[in-house]
Structure formats: structure tokens, C-alpha cells
Structure 1
Amino acid sequence: MISPGALLRAAPLDEPIETGSHLRGFGGVHGGLALALLTTAMAERAPATLLQRVTARYLRPLGDEFRIEVSTERSGRTMTALAARAMTQKDVHVDATAIFATPQPASWPTVAPPAPAAPPPEQCEVFTIPPGFVPISTSMEIRPVGPNRPYTGGAEPELTAWIRLLEDDEPPDVHRLIPLMDGLAPSYTAVLPELVLLPTVEFAVRPAAAGLKRAASPWVLLRARTHQAGADGWVDEGIDAWGPDGDHLGSARQTRLVRPA
């Protein structure tokens, strides 16, 4: 069975892709992994550039076999805009858009969220997600920070945890960061007393190139917090990622919809 990192490194993105059921999330291919594959395919069209932002819309669950189509929306001197779709023979299941930019020398002031206080990962207990619920969780190690846990009816819609891919000790690059940022349970589940599903409708990632360039550890500290949740079940969540040295690695935004289990 191929691992997430190996798939991102080796998948022939111009041919049909087979992932296997062990890389599923809620009912289909894990959303973060699907977006990472789409991003990797788009990056091949924009060499010598840096990803600035990528956004995916999940139209229907993605099966274990699909193909990727990429198109160029704009190609300029400093910015390239691309689109990609994960498709079966009949339907588009995930579509994504991304902005890549040519690195430019500059000295503008930088702004990044500070990392939360957290003990090192080896001092935190492992949290195991039932493989039957999220099969791809067997490829990741999660060590929560603080008292919040999914589906415990807590007071705060926030989850903080260390996370890494189990397959190797490589630090995250932008493509490995994307599935890791989608590796925790939805933060809204921290205030829920019972199991419900919260599939992702839209997922946007903004990597922090400087932090990723300096990354030396496989561990990523994630803090996910629900900023808005309506009585109709629509949930807006923000996620930030840091390395063990406190470097900010990226930010993400998820729009989710609550569904009964």
C-alpha cells in the first residue's frame, strides 16, 4: 500500500491515479491529500514559482481511481493562475484553483501568528482515530496539546495537536503540509457531545514559504478553531501550522457542513 508522501512523490499525474481505500477520509479520498495531488499537478505547470494560495471545492466524494486535468487561467511575469480538477469518467469531484508567483526580492515587514505554548511532541500522548472512521489516520501520528478532544462536549471549539506523517522523518514541504493541515478532526467537534460528520465543502491553504524553507522536523503543530457555526450546520474554521522552533508554516480555512452520522 502506497503512503501519502510516496504518492505525492511518485504519482504519474498525467495518468489515472489509484490511491487505495487506506487513504480515504470521510467516505472518499482524504480531502487534504486530494488537494495536495491537485496542487502538485498544477505546480508542474509553474516551475520556478512559489505557491501563494490554493483553494479546493469538494463537489462529491472522490473514489479510489481518478484522473487530474490542469488548465492555465493566466500566465504573467510575476503571477500564474491555474485550475485543476479531479475527475472520474462521468463527473468532476474536486476542483481547485491556485496562484503561483515568481520569487521577488523584497524587504516588507512580515506578520505571522505566534505559536501557542505547547510541550514537545514526545511529552504528549498519542491520540488514535478509529481506522474504520478515517482510514488515512493510520498514516499519521497525532499528539493532542491541552484538554480538548473531539466529541467531548467541551466549552471551546478548538483543537491543538502535534501531527506528522509516519512514513519517514522528512520535514514538510508545501505538498506534504496540505494533507497534514487537514489531519485533525474538525475543531467544532470539540463542543459536540456525540458523533456527527462534518465533511469539507471548501478548503483553502496559504503556505508560509520562509518557514517551510527552514523546516527541519517532521512534526507540525496545528491549532484549529471554529470562528463561526450557524444553526443550519454551516461551519467556518481557521487552521494555523508551526514547526517545533515556532516558525509559522502556513494557514488554512475550511468551510464544513454538519451531517448526522
Structure 2
Amino acid sequence: MKQLSRYALGEEFSAQVGDDGTWSAEIDPSWWGWSGPHGGVIAALAVHVAGQTAPDATVRALDLRFVGRPDDGELVLTPTVTPVGRSTRVVDVVVGQQGRAIATASITMGRVEPSAATDIVDIGSDVVPRPEDCAPFMIPPEIVPMGGHLDLRPVDGPLPLTGAAEPRMRAWITTLRPMTVDAAYLALLADCLPPALFPTLTAPVAVPTVSLSMHVAAPPENSSPAPILVQTHNISTSGGWSVDDTTLRDERGRLLAAARQSRRVVGWTDR
């Protein structure tokens, strides 16, 4: 998993800005999820556009809602910046496709102060194997195409569709094409593990994301491509809805971001 070069996420999806400040991007079918463009890619593109639109601030939080079903074709991302005080910015991004909105995102950005002795830093106490000591696991690209873009190495816990008792997964993840580790990249990885409900099942069900939030705990100390420890845990599934909590940590256990997703459970089958 050693990576020596970096590649911007925006380049992977041909993100470019027009003269009017509106962005366009393409999600290749190899980056699709179950039945359409991967939700994590859409979230990552919204964060990328926000960061480029307000370059004087740093991404601190993302709140994204899907309001339509993404499909094949160019994405159009329209950002609007609202200043809040002297150093905070809220960038609202409407993601459209074929003349209709498919997602809306609100990205909170602000100035990051220098480190201080009073900082509270979450560094995990778990001792986990290093990425190179973990065996790779492939999400079948014939089922979920974007799995072919990932180097995913489970650390512990159950695997998807094994009928396990625990609704959780933890793995080192990096993209096969090295990308800069920034807030957009973290938004992508926050949605790269299967729904945390999946280890308790023996057959897949559709569990589409309705909303995704992510809070940046600490900006990455180094933006060079590197494996990220992603852990997801299902905290609730009932009434046709499912909620997952996800953490993303660097190789020394430092918490980079925490995310939460609300999902619809469609076509439920017996576990």
C-alpha cells in the first residue's frame, strides 16, 4: 500500500469550473455503487467545489442530502458562499444532473488556529495491524463497480454477508490511484465500506443513503496519499431506516473525521 505520488480527487472526476463559477464533473461507470453514481463521490465533489470556491478557509463540516436519484451524465455543481463573521464561510452546493437537483450540500469552513497545549486530540488506544500486514478484500466490482478502485484491508470484525452478530466493520482503505488526503478524500472514504448492517445479513439488500454528515476533527498532518483506518458501526435499524456512525483515523490512530449516515432499507430479506 506504499504510495509515492499524489493525484487530486478533482482530476479523477474531471471537475472543472466555468466562467460563471459553476462546476461540472463526470462520474465514470466504474465509480458507480449499487445502481448509480457512488454517493461518496458526490459528497467528495461537493466538498472539493466548496474548498475551491472559498480557498481562504478550511473545511470543517459537511451536511449532504440526496433529493433525487443520480444517473449517468454530467454533474453540475453550483456553489453559493455565505460569510459568517470574519473567518467562517458556509458554502451551499446544489448538485444537478439533466436539469434537476439530485443533492444539496452545506459545507462549513473556517480558519484553523495553530495547535495549543489545551487541544483535545482523539488518538485511538486500539493496537491494530499495519496496513501492509492485513490481507486485501475486494468488494466485487461486478456488484459494486467502485470496489475496483479501492485497496481495502479488513483489520478485524466480521465481513459483509456472513450472518454475523455484530453490525460493524473496520478496514484500512486507500484508492488504487493515489489521491491527496484532504477533506474531500475523507468524504469519499466515509462512504466506501458497505452499510454496517451487511455483516449481519447473508444476502444483500438495497440500503441507499438519504443523508450524510461529516465533521472534520483535525486536518490531516500530511496530505500525501496514505491508508486511512475506517470503522463503521450500525447504531440503529428499525422501521425501514438505518443509521451508521463512521470514524476515519490516520496511521497513528489520530481521529481525522467522524461521519453519520441515514439510510433507507429497501427490499428487506431475512438475515
- What TM-score do the two structures reach when normalised by structure 1? 0.89
Structure 2 gap segments, 5+ residues each? 1-6
Tell me which amino acid in the other structure corresponds to 1:58.
F
Deviations 1:89-142 (A, max 9, x none): 331101100110122346343142625332112222211111122111111111
Structure 1 residues 37, 171: CA separation in 2 closer, same or farther (over 3 Å shift)? closer
Tell me which amino acid in the other structure corresponds to 2:65.
R
136, 143, 149: which one aligns with 1:133 = 143
Deviations 1:49-104 (A, max 9, x none): 11110111112221232211111233430211121011023311011001101223
Deviations 1:132-186 (A, max 9, x none): 2211111111111224011111111110111101012x55222212111211111
Contact 2:123 2:252 in 1 (8 A): no
Number of residues paired by the alignment? 256
Q: Percent identity of the aligned residues?
A: 26
Counterparts of 2:24 and 2:89, CA distance in 1: 25
User: Is structure 2 residue 22 aligned with structure 1 residue 18?
Assistant: no
User: Is structure 2 residue 126 aligned with structure 1 residue 122?
Assistant: no
Higher helix share: 1
Q: CA RMSD in A?
A: 2.2
Q: Show the counterpart of 1:247.
A: 254
Deviation, structure 1 residue 10: 5.0
Deviation, structure 1 residue 23: 1.3
Structure 1 residues 146, 179: CA separation in 2 closer, same or farther (over 3 Å shift)? same
Tell me which amino acid in the other structure corresponds to 1:245.
R
Counterparts of 2:148 and 2:14, CA distance in 1: 20
Counterparts of 1:173 and 1:15, CA distance in 2: 19
Counterparts of 2:224 and 2:263, CA distance in 1: 32
Structure 1 residues 4, 201: CA separation in 2 closer, same or farther (over 3 Å shift)? farther
Deviation, structure 1 residue 17: 2.2
Counterparts of 1:53 and 1:244, CA distance in 2: 22
Pick which of 10-19 and 123-132 moved more. Answer: 10-19
Counterparts of 1:102 and 1:44, CA distance in 2: 15
70, 82, 98: which one aligns with 2:91 = 82
Q: Show the counterpart of 2:3.
A: none
Q: Secondary structure at the match of 2:82?
A: strand
